[in-house]
A and B are shown apart, each in its own frame.
Chain A
Amino acid sequence: MANYAIITDLNRCTGCLACTVACKAINGVDVGNFWIKTLRVGPHPIEGGSGTFPDVEMYFLPVQCQHCENPECVKVCPTEASHVAEDGTIQIDKDKCIGCQFCAMACPYGVRYLNQTERVVEKCTLCEQRTSQGELPQCVAQCGARARFFGDLDQGVENFEGPAHPDTPGCQYDDMTKTRVKLKDYVEAFTENDIHHLTNKGNNPKLMYLLREGRKWRE
């Protein structure tokens, strides 16, 4: 049993879209569809500033399935195709999906869509195929700014892991992918108040965003 989630350090995210692209590549997401998108939020005038550049602030926001604790998509699914898996993630059993799309309607973040080829709803799986083998989700592994960290909420968010440089250049693939760094050891210091979630409509989203004091969280 686990309770997997991702935290993204928005003070580090550069909006390179590597997560968006890497996800599409590893999961075979069709042209026009996305399991993760990166929005630019802002630039907004800084409170008390002149209202124009350079008194503005902005950040990038990667949005995907939030793998909620109390998922609306699971509540509305008539066939239990959408379900909470043992690792705490929300998964879709495509063989059970009747394509009613009520889960896509009920998701507050609009991250579900109908796969026109398979005629079932799909969305981010948190790279279940990778995490079940001890690997990181591809959006975490390929993050260009090392802003994303993956882990088990039950072990504490400070222990979430991201990819790190191997000590020995030229090491093998396995060694490279197993080289990790913990959130607490890598990113700038943060407090509980710096951890944000997307707007909660009673679904208790689990994915987290780090945005430290000085920049205003807009969701």
Chain B
Amino acid sequence: MEIQWPLILFTFFNCLAGGIFLMQGILTLSGKGKAMQLASCVSAIVALAIGGLSVFFHLQHPLRMLNGFGHITSGITIELIFVIVFAIAVVLYFLMMRRSEEGVAPKWCAVLAIVVSLALPFATGDSYLMSAIPVWDTMLLPLYYVVATVMLGGLAAMIIAGATKADDAVKLSATVAFIGAVVCAVVSVIYAVAISGMGANYTEMQYYFDPTLPDVAMRQSEQITGAILAGEHAVAFWLGNVAIGCAVPAVLAALVMTGKIPAEKALTVAVVALVCAVIGTIVWRVLLYEVAVNALIQFQWALQ
């Protein structure tokens, strides 16, 4: 399928927004990160807004949304509901923080932050589950979005903590970032292995010809299922997603987590780690579009 950049950016910023708020919830629950609460709330809302803006570049008639989303059970409608719930939760957190005498949002707000922040990427991923596209039709997709959210959140929180001098939050953020990056690598490798075994999900004709596309070669399922692990996208996957996108952030987060890099120097390291993680997660999302081919691969002539 043609790469849908607005949707890639939308899902990425949803994960980033969720990650930032998730991390703030974890920190608040642990009694840390008081100084960075406002910055986290603002960052999460800004990320959510950029994601929302991105999707406007995908929709051909976005203003028709004002007519209402009449189909409540469609994945996009559910996704929108979770975006709204997330935004409300951030505002609620902010208001409760401002009302609090200690200047810290209550624990229930932290729990709410964690729940909505994990639900948002899950709902985002869930909307892409469709039997027509076998490589998307797996719970590994929403799972990947959730673990990417954890990784991005940990790294973003390291930056926010560094920028707001919330030194008490750095180590915990680095720990979450480390766990997120390692799990992200594991899940994406499992996902890639799962894709390599999806050949049976495609209907194949050994020979066929589309007279309207006389110069287009026949496609077979091995071109799709074998592309990521050891095929044409292997370099992008192993180097871009696993090495740069997960291993480098994991190592850098581990150095901060273990104190080998002091908290006051963590900001620069976190910026490098987050840039790497962003590259990795964007590469993986692009690859998921590259291999997103209909189950009946001979019939696809839309979106390509």
Show the binding face of A for B, using Cβ within 8 Å: 15, 17, 20, 34, 37-44, 63, 72, 75-80, 95-102, 104-114, 119-120, 198-199, 201-203, 218-219
A98-B64, A101-B303, A110-B294 as given contacts; A41 in contact with B74, CB under 8 Å: no
A44-B218 Cα distance, complex, nearest whole Å: 14
Interfacial chain A residues near B295, Cβ < 8 Å: 108, 199, 201
Provide a sorted-by-A list of 24 A–B residue pairs whose CB atoms are within 8 angstroms: A37-B210, A37-B299, A40-B209, A41-B205, A41-B208, A43-B207, A44-B205, A97-B64, A99-B59, A100-B76, A101-B58, A102-B74, A102-B127, A105-B303, A108-B131, A108-B296, A109-B294, A109-B299, A110-B300, A110-B302, A112-B302, A114-B302, A202-B131, A219-B296
Task: Tell yes or no: B265 within 8 A of A by CB.
Answer: no
Interfacial chain B residues near A111, Cβ < 8 Å: 299, 301-302
Complex interface: stretch among B65-73, B95-103, B145-153, B246-254: B65-73
Q: 6 closest A-B pairs (Cβ-Cβ)?
A: A99-B60, A119-B60, A110-B300, A78-B76, A113-B302, A201-B131
Interfacial chain B residues near A114, Cβ < 8 Å: 60, 302-303
B interface residues, tally (CB under 8 Å): 43
A39-B210, A96-B67, A105-B303 as given contacts; A78 in contact with B74, CB under 8 Å: yes
**CB pair A106 B59 closer than 8 Å:** no
A102-B75, A219-B296 as given contacts; A72 in contact with B61, CB under 8 Å: no
**CB pair A75 B298 closer than 8 Å:** no
Interfacial chain A residues near B207, Cβ < 8 Å: 41-44
A106-B132, A110-B296 as given contacts; A76 in contact with B1, CB under 8 Å: no
Q: Which of A42, A75, A99, A104 contacts B74 (CB 8 A)?
A: A75
**CB pair B60 A37 closer than 8 Å:** no
Majority SS at the chain B contact face:
loop
Task: Tell yes or no: B203 within 8 A of A by CB.
Answer: yes
Contact string against A for B residues 52-66, beta-carbon threshold 8 Å, 1 for contact and 0 otherwise? 000000111110110
Interface residues of B in 198-217 (CB under 8 A from A): 203, 205-212
Q: Which of B73, B208, B296 contacts A109 (CB 8 A)?
A: B296
A101-B74 Cα distance, complex, nearest whole Å: 13
Task: Tell yes or no: B89 within 8 A of A by CB.
Answer: no
Interfacial chain B residues near A108, Cβ < 8 Å: 131-132, 294-296, 299
**Nearest CB in chain A: distance from B17 CB, A:** 20
Most chain B C-beta atoms within 10 Å of own C-beta, residue among A20, A63, A100, A199: A100
**Nearest CB in chain A: distance from B152 CB, A:** 25
**CB pair A80 B71 closer than 8 Å:** yes
**CB pair B132 A201 closer than 8 Å:** yes
A219-B77 Cα distance, complex, nearest whole Å: 33
A21-B60 Cα distance, complex, nearest whole Å: 28
Most chain B C-beta atoms within 10 Å of own C-beta, residue among A38, A40, A41, A110: A110
User: Which residue of A is nearest B80, CB measured?
Assistant: A78
A75-B224 Cα distance, complex, nearest whole Å: 26
Interfacial chain A residues near B64, Cβ < 8 Å: 79, 95-98
Interfacial chain B residues near A201, Cβ < 8 Å: 131-132, 295
Task: Tell yes or no: B133 within 8 A of A by CB.
Answer: yes
Interfacial chain B residues near A15, Cβ < 8 Å: 211
Task: Tell yes or no: B130 within 8 A of A by CB.
Answer: yes
Interfacial chain A residues near B73, Cβ < 8 Å: 75
A202-B212 Cα distance, complex, nearest whole Å: 29
Interfacial chain A residues near B211, Cβ < 8 Å: 15, 17, 38-40
A202-B71 Cα distance, complex, nearest whole Å: 20
**CB pair A107 B302 closer than 8 Å:** yes
**Nearest CB in chain B: distance from A109 CB, A:** 5
A102-B65 Cα distance, complex, nearest whole Å: 15
**Nearest CB in chain A: distance from B286 CB, A:** 16
**Nearest CB in chain B: distance from A199 CB, A:** 5
Interfacial chain A residues near B296, Cβ < 8 Å: 108-110, 198-199, 219
A1-B6 Cα distance, complex, nearest whole Å: 41
Interfacial chain A residues near B300, Cβ < 8 Å: 110
User: Which residue of A is nearest B1, CB measured?
Assistant: A105
Interfacial chain B residues near A72, Cβ < 8 Å: 130-132
**Nearest CB in chain B: distance from A174 CB, A:** 34
Interfacial chain B residues near A38, Cβ < 8 Å: 211
A37-B205 Cα distance, complex, nearest whole Å: 16
Q: Which of A41, A77, A101, A199 contacts B71 (CB 8 A)?
A: A77
Interfacial chain A residues near B58, Cβ < 8 Å: 100-101
A34-B212, A110-B299 as given contacts; A79 in contact with B70, CB under 8 Å: yes
